[in-house]
Amino acid sequence: SQQGEEDPQALSIQEGENATMNCSYKTSINNLQWYRQNSGRGLVHLILIRSNEREKHSGRLRVTLDTSKKSSSLLITASRAADTASYFCATATTGANSKLTFGKGITLSVRP
């Protein structure tokens, strides 16, 4: 079963607006990561937030993590048409054989 569940499934916004995507998970994690995928391509890592962190920034990206609610959000500010892609959250569990479990993804469309 998939650990992360993203919300909404699809999001369409105008260029310049902010995009907020949410992810919920079920079990304890070591870290949570967000990835981006352009159509037909491999995934690109965007940002990693550890279980003891609450907020992290990278350029126009802001990620928050609430371990009490088992949820995370990804905010893309001042969106651009080039941000159009699918976005996935992935959780890494604790333990020596830590592996990532991905959600089904959010399709973001940014209209020029």
- Quick check: 101 and 2 in contact, CB under 8 A? yes
Q: Which of 23, 63, 76, 92 binds other proteins (CB under 8 A)?
A: 92
Q: Quick one: which of 81, 74, 39, 41 has its CA closest to 58?
A: 74
Residues between 54 and 83 that touch other proteins (CB under 8 A): none
Q: Which of 64, 73, 101, 109 binds other proteins (CB under 8 A)?
A: 101
CA angle, 75 then 38 then 62, to 5°: 15
Token pair 């949820």 in the structure block, residue: 71
- CA dist., res. 2 & res. 49, Å (int): 19
Q: Which of 40, 59, 95, 112 binds other proteins (CB under 8 A)?
A: 40
41 binds other proteins (CB under 8 A): yes
Which residues of the chain form contacts with other proteins (CB under 8 A)?
A: 2, 4, 30-31, 33, 35, 40-45, 48, 88, 90, 92, 97-105
